Structures are given as C-alpha cells and as structure tokens.
Amino acid sequence: MKSFKQHLKEEFYSKWKNKEPQKWAKRYVEVFGTPNETGRDYAKWDDIANFGGPTVIKDEEISHELPVKHIDFVYSTRSIKVPAKKVGVLAKSSGSIIVDQLKEEVTARCHYLIKNAVTLGFVEDVVANKISDNEARDEYVRRIKNNITPDWYDDPLDEYEETLAADIAHHLKINEKVEYYLDTTRDNTEKYIATDGDYWYTGKVGIKGDNMFLKLAATRISRSYFEDGIKKGKIKKTTPEKLEKDAGMTVDFKKLYKK
C-alpha cells in the first residue's frame, strides 16, 4: 500500500494550471516512478534516461517556434563544459539551450524528453568541434526535426515516432532525386552514402529475421564533410547497382531511414 506521502507526490500535478505539463507529469510517474522532489509548480527527477543530471517538469507553457511551433516545459541537465567561444554559437542555434559555465552544465528545455536529448547531444558535438560554428544553427534544426539522438539516449518514453516534425515522415520514399556516393576514405558501412538534396544518409547494418542488410540512415556527419569530399574527389558518385555490389549484401533502396 502506498504511503500518504507517496500518494501526495504522485498526485502533485492535479492542481497544475497547464494541461500539457500535467499530462506529461503523469506519464513520467508511470515510467520513471515518483519524482525525487516536488513543489507547487514543478517536479524533479534526479537522473533519468541517462542524462546524468536532473530533469524537471514545470507547470508552465513557453511558446517556441524553432524549428516548428510548440511549447516548452521540460528541462533536462547534463554535465558539459562549454568554452566561452562556443556560448554565442549555442545561443544563436536555439533559445532553449541554457549554459551554466560556473557549474559546467547545460540545460535543454523543450516539450519532449527526446528533444532535450537531441539538443544536449548537439551541444556535445559543438563543443567537440564536430560541427562548425557556421553550420551549427542549420545542423541543430536538422537534428531536432529528425530526432537524431546521441548514443547514450534510448528513448524510454517512446517519443521518437510521434515527435518527428509534422512535415517529416519516419522514412522518406526513395525517388529520382536521391543520389548515391562511395566514400573512398572509409572502410566501414559509412562509406555508402545517399542524399535527397536536403539530408545526408550513410550505411548501417540492419537485421530482418536471420538476414542482414544495408540501410541508409540519417547521419550526424556534417554536410560540409560530404561537399568537401565530393569537390576533392574523395567521395565519388555511384549507382545503386554498384553500391550494392561493393557492399556485398542486400541494400534497402526503398527507404531512407531517419534513425
């Protein structure tokens, strides 16, 4: 039987003013259990979904329009040391990235937990210089729209499918605009490349039943890497037939995978 104190903690959201935070607070309790701390207008879980820091739901709805219109009320924090020269880059990328240089922490604020994971993974890559300063804003939008999450996040709330941007489907059907390339500098599945003109995809091994196949999935590698490689002749255009022959396994050319 639940204690009176535990019951109060689990019903903390019942008097909140905003419906979306209230709905999601209930969902968090179902998945993550009772929060570690609650107040009149917030609930905090100390460490969920491998963030390594607290996640807080607040009884508020902050309107936000990048990359699509939505509201923010979920805050997730991760230990990331951001150099002073990168603070401005992150600020220009999104107003929902909150940098605390003294604590060496970054907080992402959004509607969905998966988007916070995408954002913090993006911050880690900006800090590690995996994304150029000039490309940062566009790359942030691309990742948010396509739910390109860091390796440490496993989507415990199953938000991936429902939170793709309204104009982006889980898979894009292959059409005549898709071009294929081989990266001559790589010796793994990432040497197999496709682009639909808007996004870049690299090869990953998929498994269906007892069979392995190659799928072309959205990549975190920057657009400039591919463009420079093509200009320098290191990345060469090819055909689906030649790509599949080089791969030595069946390639799924029917879909471009967003994850």
Band of pLDDT at residue 7, cut at 50, 70 and 90: very low
- β pairing state of 200-208 and 192-195: antiparallel
pLDDT value for 117: 97
Higher pLDDT, 147 or 58: 58
> What H or E segment, with its residue span, contains residue 42?
strand 42-45
pLDDT value for 165: 57
Exposed/middle/buried for 130, CB within 10 Å: 0-12, 13-18, 19+? middle
Q: Give yes or no for residue 11 having a pLDDT over 50.
A: yes
No. of H helices and E strands in the chain?
A: 7, 13
- Which phi-psi region, left, alpha or beta, contains residue 201 (left: φ > 0; alpha: ψ -120 to 50)? beta
pLDDT digits (tens, 9 = 90+) for 167-180: 333 333 344 578 99
Query: What are 257's two structure tokens?
Result: 């995978």
Residue length, the chain?
Answer: 259
Smallest Cα–Cα separation from 238: which of 216, 207, 205? 216
Band of pLDDT at residue 67, cut at 50, 70 and 90: low
Q: Give yes or no for residue 63 having a pLDDT over 90.
A: no
Say what the pTM is. 0.64
Q: Are 163 and 115 in contact (CB under 8 A)?
A: yes
Segment 44-71 mean pLDDT: 88
Higher pLDDT, 6 or 104: 104
pLDDT value for 257: 83
pLDDT value for 5: 47
